[in-house]
Amino acid sequence: MDAEEQVKEALRSYDRALPEYRALRDALEREIPLHLRQWGVSYFRVEARVKKRFSYEQKVLRDPDKPVEDIVGVRIMAFFRSDLAQIEKMTRRLLEVVEESYIDKGDLLGDESFGYRSVQFVGRTRGEGAFKAVQAGVPVEVQIRTMLEHVWAEVEHDFRYKTEADATTPEINRRFALTAALLEQADRNLDDIRRALGDR
């Protein structure tokens, strides 16, 4: 099968599976909050999405032989950094994690660097439990981060990647890093405040 036919077949497959993708998206937004509350996490936000057909086509065109693992994606944002580990544990119970896809973006930063932080991995539906209405093996791209990390990532992405390439100067890069450092400290401060109030 040549590359053009591979793309056409991939789009046909996308179209056939679209109702299932949408059902999974809705189930993620419904089930994850229920399970997080059962796990004792109270402050969070969950957003799920299905990749648009055009975006899917562009990704397939870049490499027709590579499977697209992020057609369905979910982002779980915690108000407190100390909840991230619990959120990840809960997510691992709901989805079968593809361990080789796991990456902690914070680990890529040096000891003296500040920037993009997020845990990301691909999880697959198990065909049972919370997502039993969806066949087993459907991939879901999962991102777990704090709300403040999310704000920084969204702004940084829009400013840095959607402006002219030569618009970014060393001073702007420095300010991005400084803002990331301030938000990281704010995350730590919120955890400290919660602990202090909880210990009263």
**Which residues contact residue 65 at a Cβ distance below 8 angstroms, ignoring those fewer than 6 apart?**
6
Q: Is the pLDDT of residue 160 over 70?
A: no
Would you list the domain boundaries of the chain? 3-147
Q: Are 33 and 90 in contact (CB under 8 A)?
A: no
pLDDT in tens, 53-92: 999 999 999 988 889 999 999 999 999 999 999 999 999 9
Computed over every residue of the chain, the mean pLDDT equals 85
Record the pTM: 0.83
Within 10 Å of residue 64's Cβ, how many Cβ atoms?
Answer: 16
Instruction: Give the mean model confidence (pLDDT) for residues 143-157.
Output: 82
Count CA atoms closer than 13 A to 24's CA, side-chain side. Answer: 30
Class of domain 3-147: alpha beta
